[in-house]
Amino acid sequence: MAAPAAAGSGEGPRGPLLDDLMPWSVRPLRTGRPWVTAPDAASLRARWERLARAEGAEREQLFGATRSRTPQTAVAALPGQATATGRFAREPGPCPEPVRILHGPFDEQWLLPDHRLIDAARPELWRVADAHQLFAVEHGRVPQDTGPALSVTALLPDGHSPAGRPGRIRPLYRRPGGLEPNLAPGLLTLLRGRHGDAVAPQSVLAWVLAAARHSPAGCVVPLPADTARWSAGVELGQELLRLQLRGARGGARPRLPGGRRPYVRAAVPPAPSALAYDPDEEVLALGTGRISPVPAGAWEFRVGGVRMLELWFERRTAVAGAAGLEAVRPRSWPQEWTSELLELIALLALLAELRPRQDELAHGPEIGVDELRAAGVLPVAAAARRPASVLDHQEEGPDGQFALL
């Protein structure tokens, strides 16, 4: 048996690799200190105020120095963020406004967007994050993984993987303003020749979202040779995209139809101790709190072998071992978390219902690697794997200096 091709080779089971179709990718963010993210923005502001008021050894301890960041580190501002660039030890400045991010596959949280606090913030992602951008996020793979291979978000994703090796973050566009699609040169021309001039960058992303599969070589995306299958996959991918954007870009938020919509049957207590699921009654219990009906598909929805509802709950209730600024968190369960949980249940249930249609896309004639090579799509030029230059873009550098990129 032949060994699986290496990632980026253009070869893999049942089609080319995503690494070749969307060649520019960025590694996940590395915060270096977990207290800069939280499920609620108020905790981040309280953490900042406590750190800014502290002095000397206490500030050093609360900050959590690493090789990349200490209170004395001077760094450039994050693109698009009006935050201080002076050394934190000398001039903390005002608390930056927390920004909404996607923490892992389906968990919307908040981040303090201060480059002085983040070990590896990936400025190239912030530079292209705007009202036109969408990010494809690969999920870490584990053996016998049956979960989705990737997700898409309009938020800035941190790329965190609940299990397995973290995947890559792939912006749909290489430049702000929805300019220069992050697609292999020649791919759009090839697909338009097969499936018509209506093929656009976002329809390619929709197909990728619907058809991508895990493989030992990386995320594989079979490309259909027949237009009927392509159209069905793009339509399905657009529905998946609408759900995962969760109301962004003018879309509707995920919602189950009446009669199947989950409701709070018993209020969530101030400090729910455990999460449990009763499949017979379709009840999700948060301590003494009760939510129903919760479809089994939502409860069993996993990424990298990890249940998403359990992971979401653990991130909001794990108090054991929390110390320093991480211990600054809500004293009781906020109502906003219950609303977010209800929406997450609806999202996961609807995604689970669409999985059979995704599986159907695996069958049919495909555009092979040989055809991609003959069309000049493969191999991908090295320049397409690097971020685009933004020559007219000024950003504040360390200690207030400006840099032209």
Residue 2 near residue 210, CB atoms below 8 Å: no
3-state secondary structure of 145: coil
Label residue 143 exposed, middle or buried (CB < 10 Å: 0-12, 13-18, 19+). Answer: exposed
Residue-wise burial string across 189-213, b where 16 or more C-beta atoms lie within 10 A, e elsewhere: ebbeebbeeebebbbbbbbbbbbbb
- DSSP class of 218: S
Residue 401 has pLDDT above 80, yes or no: no
Question: Is this structure's pTM higher than 0.85?
Answer: yes
Q: What's the pLDDT band for 8 if we cut at 50, 70, 90?
A: very low
Residue 235 has pLDDT above 60, yes or no: yes
Residue 95 CA to residue 42 CA, distance in Å, equals 11
> pLDDT (tens digit, 9 = 90+) per residue, 281-296?
999 999 999 999 999 9
Please list, in sequence order, all residues whose beta carbon lies within 8 angstroms of the beta carbon of residue 41, skipping any fewer than 6 positions away: 98, 110
CA-wise closest residue to 211 among 18, 10, 353: 18
Residue 2 has pLDDT above 80, yes or no: no
Across residues 85-109, what is the average pLDDT? 94
Tell me the C-alpha to C-alpha distance, in Å, between residue 124 and each of 25, 157, 171, 264, 400: 10, 13, 10, 42, 19
Q: What's the pLDDT band for 316 if we cut at 50, 70, 90?
A: very high
> pLDDT (tens digit, 9 = 90+) per residue, 37-48?
999 999 999 999
Number of other residues whose CB lies within 10 A of the CB of residue 292: 16
Residue 345 CA to residue 246 CA, distance in Å, equals 12
Percent of the chain clearing pLDDT 90 (strictly above):
82
